[in-house]
Amino acid sequence: MSHRLALWVMLSVICLVVGAAIFSSRDAEAEITSLKPTRTVVWNDYLGVNAQFHFFPESTYRKQMVRLRELDLEWVRIAMHWAVLEPKRGEYFRPFDEAALVMSEYGLKPVGFLAGSAPFATSAPNESPYQDSYPPTNYRLYSDSLTRFIERYPNFQAWQIWNEPNLPSFWRPREDPDAYAALLADAVDTVRRRFPDKPLGTAGMAYFSQMPSRNMELMLKALLEKGLASKNLIVSYHPYTEYPEGNAAGKNELLDTVRYINDGLRGAGIKQIWATEWGWSSYAGPEEAQAIIGVSGQADYTLRRLALMSALDFDRIFLFNLSDLDARASIRDQSYGLLDLNGDPKPVFNALKNFLRVTGPKLSPADPPSFGIAPKDLYSVAWKRDDGRRLLMVWSASAGKLSLQGIRQATLHDPLTGKAKSLTAEGDVLTVPLKPSLQLLVTD
């Protein structure tokens, strides 16, 4: 997680980069967004979280793991700062070793990303206060260390090479797609000589891979032009936006931009696309590149975004973050957790638990129902649960009511509160009271 650039600026420019094709008809006037998902979703294989277990005492991270298993989730993306984990060549950080063993004990599926240069490898000027933010002097130093980490932690399911190199703060003095492509190629070739079957991935690119110092060009596009698709890698990015639906009310920026990016990646032959960070902070301020939304807003935004992302073409997504963080993170970045610093649930954890309880472990795509009366800003995602019942994820900023024909009985669940109410049709019409927050309508 970086000190984020201004979200409004980033997504305004991306629209110019990818062209008019990403805009929907909502540009002129709000229209109903009714989605049929592209694939079946099994939550414990599709949804993961970011975690930093080695930042905490063992008693605390065990508590975090217990909470994660309460959600029946297994995938964890683990922050691995090279400067911390290998401060001297061949000298390793023992608390990380211990946490890796406990992850196996709890049946977790870790994904590692090795980022930032170790002191013995950095190309940073001696006077720079950002020693680990520069690339290594010799890419083979990174590749050899990554290979040793893969050997050291055999329970890790996959590995990403660096993190957010499209931002200057993670690849100083400025982002450089040629240099990152060279590091990526050396690391992939080196690792595969020793571990030919280990899944490897690109760094998770911040936002949609825009490069601020290069007129917001997309690093993913530059990497494709350099042969990325031939390397059989997982490709990842971090679709942070101001709101769950995008950066401006009444627009479909998230849906349109993700479709544009993912269609381009699939068309080039990319087989695995992951969103390895997304989420919102519940911080109290001072404001830093995200509006103050508090713990209730965090829960609301997270569920609405999860509903949208589940309907898009991602193979796996990782919520940022499992736990709040201490003062090693910025004020805003300290409060992205599902859990607080003690490992206790925040409202977003309880809302997600309610959500997963109502959806069940598996959802299959379903045709959207026919709407009668519906607000123009309605969002809906249509699913079939594993028990055969239909489930509709619905919300509307203007609230109002939704009418459905041919449905006699339904149960409307509010995962933010955990409450549910039975609905009965009058005549042939079922009326559903909407909210700006996500609700789950379950019907036979």
Domain identity same for 149 and 203: yes
Kind and range of the H or E run holding 16? helix 7-18
Domain membership of residue 340 (yes or no) is: yes
The answer on pLDDT for 13 being more than 60 is no
- Report yes or no: 324 and 335 within 8 Å, Cβ to Cβ: yes
Domain identity same for 339 and 412: no
What CATH number corresponds to the domain at position 125?
Answer: 3.20.20.80
Domain identity same for 110 and 205: yes
What CATH number corresponds to the domain at position 412?
Answer: 2.60.40
Domain boundary among 316, 336, 361: 361
The pLDDT, as a whole number, for residue 30 is 55
Tokens of residue 210, six digits: 């825009």
Q: What is the span of the domain harbouring residue 437?
A: 364-443
- Per residue in 144-175, pLDDT tens? 999 999 999 999 999 999 999 999 999 999 99
Domain identity same for 279 and 386: no
For the residues 201-226, what does the mean pLDDT come to? Answer: 97
Domain identity same for 294 and 388: no
Domain identity same for 187 and 79: yes
Domain identity same for 257 and 378: no
- Per residue in 248-263, pLDDT tens? 877 889 999 999 999 9
The answer on pLDDT for 11 being more than 70 is no
Domain identity same for 334 and 373: no
Domain boundary among 336, 361, 386: 361
Please name which of 178, 188, 174, 163 lies closest in space to residue 225, comparing C-alpha atoms.
178
Domain identity same for 414 and 352: no
**CA 163/CA 183 separation, integer angstroms:** 12
- Per residue in 17-41, pLDDT tens? 443 233 233 333 458 999 999 899 9
Under the phi-then-psi rule, with left for phi > 0, alpha for psi from -120 to 50, and beta for the rest, what region is 442? beta
How would residue 116 be classed by pLDDT, with cut points 50, 70 and 90? very high
Domain boundary among 361, 384, 403: 361
For the residues 339-361, what does the mean pLDDT come to? Answer: 98
Domain identity same for 124 and 171: yes
Give the residues across from 365 on adjacent strands: 383
- Per residue in 292-338, pLDDT tens? 999 999 999 999 999 999 999 999 999 999 999 999 999 999 999 99
The pLDDT, as a whole number, for residue 25 is 33
Domain membership of residue 1 (yes or no) is: no
The alpha carbon of residue 325 and the mean position of all alpha carbons in its chain are separated, in whole angstroms, by 17
The structural domain count of the chain equals: 2
